[in-house]
Amino acid sequence: MLSSVIRRAVICLAALSSPLLAQLQLVQFDGTTETPVGNTYQAPAVAVGDTLTIRFRVRNTSTGPATLQTLSVAGQDFAISTAPSLPYIIASGQFAEFRVAFAPSGLGSFSASLQVNSIAVLLRASALALATVSNAGHVLAAGSTIDFGSTLKGTPVTQTLTLSNSATSGIVVSAITLSGTAFSGPSGVTTPLNLAAGQSVNFQIAFQPSASGTAQGTLSIDGRS
């Protein structure tokens, strides 16, 4: 009788120490800060044709290892773009990172169901009619680069960019900003800018370095860089 009780106690303790019972926390990571995710996550708006990538982390807040067994997203135009191979063991205090991509195929509001083990989150996002930016006939998505080439100190090099409204109704471009000490502009356009359906407007950005070396700048249009 005594040995039977001991065996049952050992089995019970083994079950309680299972990594499946470890505590997991889902957070969103912007490259600097982690923000806990609740039952619903509202993603930033994105233009049709652009892709928004959302970085998530699954943190193990328990004192033992945890197993990430389930990771899925179900919803139109949402997909998991980067994730560890499952099952994935997360050590105590560590995390596993994965990314969800949202590439809207049209205008409107979108939603998806994100499942991380027993954690269920409703993802929400919207696709807006925003102006597209092109350079030399090539549409520039968020995160694209423009190469100004090489020039002598004090000699400006100019690039012409085009803002276009491909939507069926008018849109407003509220802000165009440029950072970087070697760059100036935009010139040829002022904001707020009303773009009728099908309308395009050109503007210029100049690169005029005052020192040798490589220079970088950032162009933002209504918050998209």
Q: pLDDT tens digit string along 20-31?
A: 446 999 999 999
Report the alpha-carbon distance of residue 211 to residue 86 in Å, rounded. 50
Locate the domains of the chain by residue range: 22-128, 132-221
40: nearest Cα among 26, 21, 61: 26
- Which superfamily is assigned to 22-128 in CATH? Immunoglobulins (2.60.40.10)
Contact 94, 88 (CB under 8 A): no
**CA distances from residue 136 to 133, 159, 200, 202, 215 in whole angstroms, order as listed:** 10, 9, 14, 11, 21
Q: CATH assignment of 132-221, given 3.30.70, 1.10.3210, 2.30.30, 2.60.40?
A: 2.60.40
Other CB atoms closer than 10 Å to residue 35's CB: what's the count?
A: 10
Give yes or no on whether 22-128 and 132-221 have one common fold.
yes
pLDDT in tens, 147-190: 888 888 888 889 999 988 877 778 888 888 888 888 888 989 98
pTM score: 0.61
Give 77-129 pLDDT, tens digit per residue: 999 999 999 999 999 999 999 999 999 988 889 999 999 999 999 999 988 77
- For residue 151, which phi and psi values (nearest 5 degrees)? -155, 165
Contact (Cβ atoms closer than 8 angstroms) between residue 65 and residue 90: yes
Sole residue written with tokens 């503007």: 203
